[in-house]
Every structure is written in structure tokens, then in C-alpha cells.
A and B are shown apart, each in its own frame.
Chain A
Amino acid sequence: MDPITLFSIIKGGLVLGALYALMATGLSLVWTTLGIFNFAHGAFIALGAYVAWQFASADAYGLPLGLALAVTTGVMFAIGAVIHFLLVKPFERRADVVLITVITTLAGSAILENALLLIWGPRSKQIPELVEGTVAVAEFQLAWSEVLLLVVVLAILIGLGLFLRYTRPGRSMRAVSQNREAAQLLGLDVPIYFALAFGLSAVTAGLAGVFVGTIRFMNPAMGAEPLMKALIVVIFGGIARFSSPIYAAFIIGLLEAFSIYVFGLYWAPAVLFLTMIVVLLIKPEGLFGKYQRTL
């Protein structure tokens, strides 16, 4: 293998890993905080892409890109919080909340996807590239858009980590996730922090959708595959803590890039899944996981 191929495999792996990390973080944020899985996460990804397209594309409002992204962030946060109050909060006290929210979020996902279809129609769309051109060092080529993706994802993840560690709302969110009852007894407003977690999760999903939308054509069901990938990342890494899916995402991204090179496009996903199942057979709680969930 020559260095340029190796470089491009690693580059592809890191880009994939960054995307997966962004998707999986949102999923695991909701799981660690609320103890449920949000199957509408895939729909959030699609929604983020469409909202960004609506504001950014020259065919629609055509706002400057930065502004469009800011608006998308706000819209996604609001939608995430609303979805929490509609689809999750009513079932909080039920014993079978995990299963019930699987079905309500699946239903919510169906509603969102079909709403996308109704609003924007079935025709494929694409978001314009965020930045153009490439940077080349010697013979190693790197597109600016890839650099931007890596930088933005890392910035979001680090920012989220700092928020959780050093700010009062972040710490309160962790407290709520670790002991709901004790948090209530200290006067913390649990539903607000749950909505916050849902909103942040929707924002990360939406931004992931924007990146996906610049790479591929968009359609309302575009979230299904990333959702599966995010699930694999989360299962693979374990969902014990906020950071474990992030490592897992990069490992999976690199693994995928290498196995595409070695086994070909068709068999690469099967190799991924097989690796994951072997990991789970040895360590059911995931690579970095512990059974206890904590944020």
C-alpha cells in the first residue's frame, strides 16, 4: 500500500468517524440522560438537512451559509424539545417507558419523514458545498470541506463536553441523569433538563444531516441508514458515558474505510457488524461500556 492510498483511507475513515460521532453523540446524550432510545433521531438528521437547504439553497431563501446554519440550529433545538414534550414526557412514569418510547419515537419518525415528503416533495436535493477547493501538502490532497467537517465536529463535541463539565445547566443535566429523585429534591426542574438534552441531541443530528446533505442527495428517508450507523457506534462503544461512542465512532470509521479497501463496498458493512457482534459476545456492555449509565 503506497502512502497516498493509506493517507486517503485514513482521511476517509476520520471523516466518516467524525460524522458517526456527531450522530451517535446525540443518540447517547438522550439515552444517558433519559434512559430511552430516540428512534426519531434518523428523522432529525433528514429534517436538519432539509431545513438547512431551505435557508441556504439558492433555490429557496438563499441566506448566507453561517446564518442558515444558525437558524437551523435554533429550529432543530426547538423541534427536539417539542418532540420530547409530545412523545416522551407523557410516558415518563410508566413502567414500560423504554418500549413505549420506542414505538412513539418510531411513530414520530414516520410523521416527520412524511411531513418532509409533503413539504419538500420527493425530488432529490443537495446542499451546496460549505467551502470549496482543496488543500494539498506535497501529494496529499485534502478538501477544505473535509477539514471544515473535522474542525466543526471536534468543536461541537468539545463544546458539549465543556458544557456538561463546567456549566451549571450542564452539571445539573448530569445530576438529573444520575439520580432523578435526588435532583428533584434539590429543586432541579427535571423536565426542562430532559428537554434540553433532547434539544441538544436534535441539534447534533441536524448538523450531521447538513453534512450528509452536502455529500449525498437528500430524500426524506435519508436518516434511516445514518440512524443504523449511529446505533452500531453506540452499541459498539457502549453507552455508559458520553465520551465512549465518540471513540467508537472513529474506530468504526477507520475500520469501515479499511474494510472497503480490503473487502470491497458490498462486504464492508457485514465485516463491521461481525466485528461488532464479536465485541459484544466478549464484552456485552460495549467496548468502553459499563452497565451503569452516566452522563
Chain B
Amino acid sequence: MRYDPSLHRTQGLLPLLIALAALIVYPFVFDATYFRHVVILAFVFAIVATSWDLSLGFGGLFNFAHVALFAVGIYTYAILAKTLGFSPWLSILAGGGTAAFVALLIALPVLRLDGIYVILVTIALSQLIYLVVISSSDVTGGTSGMVTLPTLTIGDYRLSRDGRIGYYFVGLALLVANLGFLYWVTRSRLGRSIVALRDNKYYAIARGISEARTRALTLMASAVFTGMAGAFYAAYLRVASPDAFGIGFLTLLLSILLVGGAGTIWGPVLAAFAISVASEWLSGFGAWQNIIIALAIILIVVFYPGGLWAALQELRQAADGARTSLMARWRRRERPAREALTGAPERMLETPHGSIAIADTGGDKPALLFLHGNSACKEAFCKQFRAFSDAYRVISFDYPGHGVSSNADPETSYNIPAYAEIAETVLADCGISEVYVFGWSLGGYVALELAARGNITVKALGITGTSPLNMVPDDFGRGYNPDSHLVLASKQYFSRTESDNYANSATAPISEESAFLHRNLRRTDGRARFYMLGRLGVVDWPRQMRMLREGRIPFAILNGSDDPFLNHDYIARLKYGNLWNGSPQDIPNGRHAPFFNQPDAFNLELFRFLKSADR
């Protein structure tokens, strides 16, 4: 299952509240009617575009009659409020109802169709609605439309007074309600079905999702707020004209949707504001206005296929990269504290994968290399540094994007083979050709990869918290417990809660002793997590398993007996050629980091293994 927490558990809520607060304050800062008018239009466009996104972006259903649903809302309001004299407020609600009903009618022929045919048929349907509207001129006013529609009032107060401030807040409320509704729908069972049908139709149907029912519901759900926005638009402008069916309006909304980013809720909202403002700003340029906007749309589609939303994500990624990079630089000054922790001097090494921080106890003893896990740092092994430095030359280093090493190019440096390559560089720099290697979690794979590459003589190989894998990604679900906080391992940005959750599961619950590990987690370059998992495919997994089966290298598995991430049965069932004591060794109560949580038991086991490997 995809990890998809609600907004308040991630960092999404705060920016949203800030944006809302800004929109509430806006009309008081800019009290000119014109400024408010532009934003009110943006509200309407945002509602229509995000609703459209439900069927088009999330559902992959190219409903080009969506604009007609908007027009249906307009005319519902016009006829109910003006001709029949209903309450304008009720008429707005009714606009949603009639649009949903028309959406159901549209759904009927569309249920059997796919792809381009949906576009064609929905265009035809929207033209049919258009023709019906202009043909029944006695009801709808034909091509000239209807004017002087009733305005919205509260008691005797007309919302258009005081610089349209009443309309502004009704529009804002409608937008907020619409976004809340969409957020709820996309996270509901229906929303998951919609996406499932888009991504793998036949699989979804085989799993019991009704395509017809889901499609009909998708179209209706996308119509409700569209129709209400149409009614509101009519109440605001006080006209109902068939222009709303035109290709110009369709182009405007489609470009809001695509420029914002299809398949996201927030992207089209952003784009609605951006395009409304840009379009107003350019309105003095006559025909050039449309040309410039069209060119901008093409350029955005070419250079930012994911739209403004993706651009924003890149910006966020760049900001986060800068933040973590600065943090690493800043923390390099705390070297004495780290050296006190490990008892080993720290130095920086320039490699093709950035500058790497190495802790090395030195001396002419047999070398023992520790490789740390995802989002951790070399100091995680501080207890081993102290315990083993008498008999061994203990070495560890921070991966790029971790600890106090610098950030590096995510494309090339944040993956397992790159980490193994760095390990080779580090060992070569230390003048070591034979080494004992111990890897924890992600480091376990780095250790396996290092041994399988065979450029360095590995005299013994130990891992903890790592499931050796034959096939990726197939075996990934088998080797691990998918319900654990491991789902966070590839998540790019951590909120406070997530950061604490992950650190608790991956290392140790926060305490004075483990505080530095928790602190370090927030420095890790989010891209290191994201790219590492995305690049699992570049690792030669069968080679690692061949190496283990051949059993040339003494091999030990020292897992925490209560490791929350691992599927212990899977690890025990694999075939190994030369596994120490014939089976994985459990460290009681070690959790995912037994060397940290149960250092004495762990150190003893590791020491015995290293000794046995020498024989």
C-alpha cells in the first residue's frame, strides 16, 4: 500500500492555512473592486478546474463536456432565480444538482467508451447541450442569453455592495468547500477506485471495482461544485450567455488544469490564480494577450510536463537540498564532539561523489569497516568504535547526503552501487586492501555489493537489519514487514511526527543517548532516501545472492530478535553457502539497531564471528 498520510500529519496543513489567511486578509488590503473581481473569477476557475481534475487527472476520463456542466449551472440559476423566482441561494444549490444530473446523462454513453472516443463523444454532447440552449430561445434567451439576473442578498444587504466583498467571501467559502470535498473524495474508497481504474483498468475490475459505477460517480462528483460555481458565476455577473460553451473558455480551463498539473488538487488552484492574474495583467495588449498566454502554456507543457505543481516541488526540493547541505556544513564545526563520541579522528575525503567524512581509528591492525543505514550516520556505531578499536582499525564514513558528508548529485550518487564505490575509495585512501565489513540495513546492501564487486578482499561479512534479495522489487515485500514505519524509508520529506516515528523504529526511542541519531535524521538529504529506493533497479541483485550462495566469504546475520522492519522467516529460509552458525543469530531486544540498543550482546557476537572467520 502506498504511504499517504493525511495533511495534518505531514507538512501540508500549515502552508494551506497561511494561504487561506492571506486570502481572507486580501480584500481588506486591496479594497479596489477590480482587484477583488480578478480574485473572485480565480475562485470560480479554480473550482471548475479542480473539479475537472477529478475526472480528467485522477480518473483519466477525458470529459470535455465539463465546461457544459458549468454552463448548466449558469442556466439553472438564471431560470430558477429569474424566470421562476426561486431564492437565489437555493438556485445556487440547485445548480449543483442539475449539473450532477446532466453529468449522469453524459456518463451513460461514456460508460462503454475509452480514450479518444470519450473526448469526441463528450465534445459532441457539450455541443448538443449548447444547441439545445440556443434553440430554446423562449426559455434561455437563445444566442443573446439572459441579463439582469437577481443578485445574492442576505436580508436586505446586497452582496455586490462594499466593493463586492460579500461575493468575495461566498466565492472563497465555495472554493474551500470544494477543495475539502475533493480532498475527501480522493482519499475515500471511491477516490482510490478512480485512480486504480486509471492506472490499471483490468486489474482494478478484477479486484471487484465496478467501472461503470465508478465512472458515473466520478462524473457526478466532479459536476456538483462545477454546477454551483456556474450558478455563483451567473449570480455574480448577473448574465447567462452561451459564451460559456465556447472553445475559448474550454481552452482557458484546460490550460489552468494542465499548467497547474493534472492529477493534483492544489496545482490547478495555483494555476487558476496565476492565469487569471496574468490574463488580467495582459488584457491591455489586445490580440497579443491570447498569443502570449498560449505561448506560455506551450512552454510550460514542454519544460514542466507536471505543471506548476511540479515546478513548486522542484523548488521545494532545491530548498530542502540547500537546507540539508548548509546543516552538514554547519555541523562539521562540531567535530570534537563527534570525535569524543567515537574516539576516532575525523577527516574529509574528496571523491567523485562529493566530500565524504571518514572516522578512522588508524593503526596497523586488521581493518573493520562499518556501513550505516538509511538516514543515519557513522556515529551510530560509536559503541563499536570504542569496543573494537583495541583489536581492530575501525573505519566508518557518512554516505553523501548523510551526516557531515556533502550532498551530491542525486542521479549518480544516491544509490547502493555508488555507496559501495565510495567505500572502495575510502579503503583505498586508508591504504587497506583486506577488510572485515559490517553493514546495517541499507549499509547491509552496500556491504553485500562491496563484497560482490570483488575489487576489495572482504575477509568476513556481517549484516543486520537487511534482507538479502533475489529479485527486486518482487522480493522486497517478502523480505520486510510492509506495515512498519519502513514505508517512510523512501519518503523525501519528513514531518516532525514522521521523523520521530522513523527514528524510533529504525534506531532507538529518543533518549539522551540516542538524541544525536534523531538530530542527524533531519539533516539527511531527502533525495538520498527517494533516489536510493528509486534506483534499486541498478543493483545487480542476483550477483549478491550468487556471492552468498557460493559462500567464499564467511557471512553472519546478526538481527535484533524484535526488529520491526524485517520478515525474519524470509531471511531464515534463504540459501547461504557459508552462514555463521548455520542460521541468522538473534540479538534479544535489539530492534532494528541491535548494535546500539544491546551493544554488549551484539559486540560479543560480532567479536566471536570475526574470530571464527579468521580460522
Contact = CB atoms under 8 A, between A and B. Distances in A.
Q: Do A's and B's CB atoms come within 8 Å in the complex?
A: yes
Interface of A: 31, 35, 37, 42, 87, 90-91, 94, 96, 98-100, 102-104, 106-111, 113-115, 117-118, 224, 228, 231-232, 234-235, 239, 266-267, 269-270, 273-274, 276-277, 280-281, 284-285
29 contacts: A37-B119, A90-B302, A99-B62, A99-B262, A100-B258, A102-B254, A103-B254, A103-B297, A106-B251, A107-B294, A108-B294, A109-B251, A110-B291, A111-B290, A111-B294, A114-B294, A115-B291, A118-B288, A224-B246, A224-B247, A231-B124, A235-B121, A266-B134, A266-B135, A270-B132, A273-B128, A277-B124, A277-B128, A284-B113
Nearest to A116: B287
B298 interface: yes
Contacts of A115: 287, 291
A117 B287 contact: yes
A232 B127 contact: yes
A231 B298 contact: no
Contacts of B108: 281
Contacts of A35: 116
B117 A273 contact: no
Contacts of B291: 110-111, 114-115, 118
B123 to A, nearest CB: 6
B124 A235 contact: yes
B135 A103 contact: no
Contacts of B112: 284
B255 A103 contact: yes
B456 interface: no
A267 B251 contact: no
Nearest to B257: A103
B131 interface: yes
A226 B132 CA distance: 19
Contacts of A109: 247, 251
B109 A114 contact: no
Contact of B109 (A91, A111, A234, A280): A280
B200 to A, nearest CB: 13
Interface in B90-138: 108-109, 112-113, 115-117, 119-121, 123-125, 127-128, 131-132, 134-135, 137
B62 to A, nearest CB: 7
Nearest to B57: A99
Nearest to B246: A224
B295 interface: yes
Contacts of A98: 62, 115-116, 119
A270 to B, nearest CB: 4
* Interface size class of chain B, counting residues whose CB lies under 8 Å from the partner chain: 35 or more
Contacts of A91: 301
A238 to B, nearest CB: 9
B141 interface: no
B117 A277 contact: no
B479 interface: no
Nearest to A228: B127
B484 to A, nearest CB: 33
A106 B247 contact: yes
Contacts of B287: 114-115, 117-118
Contacts of B305: 94, 100
Contacts, number: 119
The A interface, classified by DSSP as helix, strand, loop or mixed, is: helix
Contacts of A103: 254-255, 258, 297, 301
With a 10 A CB-CB cut-off, give which of B120, B134, B291, B305 has the most chain A CB atoms: B120
Contacts of A235: 117, 120-121, 123-124
B109 A281 contact: yes
Given A270-B131, A284-B113, A107 B124 contact: no
Contacts of B134: 266
Contacts of B290: 110-111, 113-114
Contacts of A270: 128, 131-132, 135
B127 A273 contact: yes
Contacts of A100: 258, 301, 305
- Give 6 nearest A-B pairs by CB, closest first: A273-B128, A107-B294, A110-B294, A114-B287, A235-B120, A270-B131
Given A270-B128, A277-B124, A284 B117 contact: yes
B128 A107 contact: no
A139 to B, nearest CB: 34
A280 B109 CA distance: 7
Given A90-B302, A104-B298, A231 B120 contact: yes
A168 to B, nearest CB: 29
Nearest to A113: B290
A280 B121 contact: yes
Interface string B549-587: 000000000000000000000000000000000000000
Contacts of A118: 287-288, 291
Contacts of B125: 277
Interface in B241-268: 246-248, 250-251, 254-255, 258, 262
Given A98-B62, A107-B294, A270-B131, 14 more contacts: A37-B116, A37-B119, A98-B115, A99-B262, A107-B298, A110-B291, A114-B287, A231-B124, A232-B124, A232-B127, A235-B121, A269-B131, A277-B128, A284-B117
A29 to B, nearest CB: 15
A94 B290 CA distance: 26
A107 B248 CA distance: 10
Contacts of B62: 98-99, 102
A122 to B, nearest CB: 9
A102 B119 contact: yes
Contacts of B258: 99-100, 103
Interface string B257-289: 010001000000000000000000000000110
A104 B34 CA distance: 31
A236 to B, nearest CB: 9
B249 to A, nearest CB: 11
B61 to A, nearest CB: 11
Nearest to A273: B128
B115 A234 contact: no
Contact of B288 (A102, A113, A114): A114
A91 B248 CA distance: 23
Interface in B191-215: none
A96 B263 CA distance: 12
Interface in B1-60: 56
Nearest to A235: B120
